[in-house]
Amino acid sequence: MALATSSLITTKPLVRSKRTSNHTATATVAELPHVESPFPNIALTLSNFLHLSTAATANQDDQHERDRSTSDPISTMSTVSPARLKPLYSQKEDISSLFPAIHGKADWSSLLHPLHPGLRREIIKYGEFAQATYDAFDYNPFSEYCGSCLFSQLNLFSKLGLDCHGYNITKYIYAMSHIDLPQWLEKSLHGEAWSRDSNWMGFVAVSGDEESTRIGCRDITVAWRGTVAPAEWYEDLQNQLKQLGPEGDAKVEQGFHSLYTSKSDSTRYNKSSASEQVMTEIKRLVNYYRDKGERVSLTITGHSLGGALALLNAHEAATAIPDLPVSVISFGAPRVGNDAFRNELDRLGVKALRVVVKQDLVPKTPGIIFNEGLKRMESMTGSLDWVYMHVGFELSLDIKSSPYLKKGLDFSGFHSLETYLHLVDGFVGPDSEFRSNAKRDLALVNKSSGLLRMS
């Protein structure tokens, strides 16, 4: 495979508004000194109330690096200080020969039991891209920029310590909804809010030359932001299926569809829908790299609500670019559509790997009662186009497999993406013990929950 040298593209100059509020940015655990707080419960309560992880205050330079505008086709490549502290990762290996299997050509059957180290690393990589959409999001309701991204697309990865993955962000995605979704879209209480309608919902990124050589393709990645807590998730769930297109029987949950497709001429950031924004960028990148003679793939990831948006995105991309390998790696994602929607994804060749924690409630919704379990009764009941169905292959994880996690009920902790990534890092097989040489920092589990055992 011939790889073209990535070109240097510049972004539009920005007109920046005056800022009067303070902002917080989530930092990697390695950056934060350990300080014993005399009021740990108060800190945790405030953190949960504002949906904020343990955070350090961003300096003024970081605040002025925020990018609120849509960008030109490809962004300038960012540089990173080699002195930056980073979490430990498993050693990278050349997996170019595994390209078809890693992207699900055989539904990952040869790589899951036991879990291949190369696939484990790729799952964690995409999971960390999804986690970045939380860590870089401004949840502070008193901030003028609540609902936006804390960093510009030029330095988001370097600020979060993810530059080691070898990707560059080329586009930010914004979304709105014509359906009232108060728990899925954050709103600023500031009098001069950056937007009254839109939220930053994720990004498009592309692998650099070195990473593309290692994995065997030029990988275009889309990461969608989701919801932090199960309570947020369920409150805005519409539980109503909507026709996906003008033809066919495929239907999807109405709230997901609205968030993915809504737009308004009266808004700055959503004159085009999230669907239009992401598809324009995907098509542009595919054409750009294919013109260079490269093999191109599309991998879409997301946690919770983000996993639902990932499936809608995958369906649209596979329809628009039939010969493009499209895979989805989701975490704690819900059911999205009916059996016809699942069948369309299968027909289009979309490969989906659903990472699911057994104790997590969100993957059980919508359709807690009426779901794919009724499929075996279809001969008696007739068509089940009103029943929600999961898509793809499931990698099932168990909280009980980790010796580092507390016992008991913690639904927020069960759903946390950091919990998922911890369990993937230690997973070998369903009947195997948690691997002793797992590399990921245990402290990350408590970034937004208290699930980590203290002794």
Cis ω on the peptide bond leading into residue 246 (within 30° of 0)? Answer: no
- Distances 146 to 23, 185, 339 between C-alpha atoms, Å: 9, 10, 37
Tokens coding 326? 């499209």
Q: Which residues pair with 163 in a beta bridge?
A: none
3-state secondary structure of 159: helix
Cα 221 to Cα 286: distance, rounded to the nearest angstrom: 11
Given 165, 257, 390, 415, the catalytic residue: 415
Given 138, 197, 339, 360, the catalytic residue: 360
- Distances 67 to 8, 13, 64, 132, 232 between C-alpha atoms, Å: 18, 10, 8, 16, 27
Place of tokens 């203290």: 454
Tokens coding 349? 């060749």
Question: Within its chain, how far is the Cα of 415 from the centroid?
Answer: 14
Contact present, 381 and 374 (Cβ < 8 Å): yes
Q: Which of 59, 53, 56 is nearest to 31 (CA)?
A: 56
180 counts as catalytic: no
Q: What angle do CA 387, 389, 392 make, to 5 degrees?
A: 165
Cα 28 to Cα 325: distance, rounded to the nearest angstrom: 33
Contact present, 220 and 235 (Cβ < 8 Å): no
360 counts as catalytic: yes
The enclosing H or E element of 173 equals strand 167-175
72 counts as catalytic: no
The enclosing H or E element of 156 equals helix 156-159
Given 143, 258, 262, 304, the catalytic residue: 304
Contact present, 417 and 372 (Cβ < 8 Å): no
- Where in the sequence numbering do the catalytic residues fall? 304, 360, 415
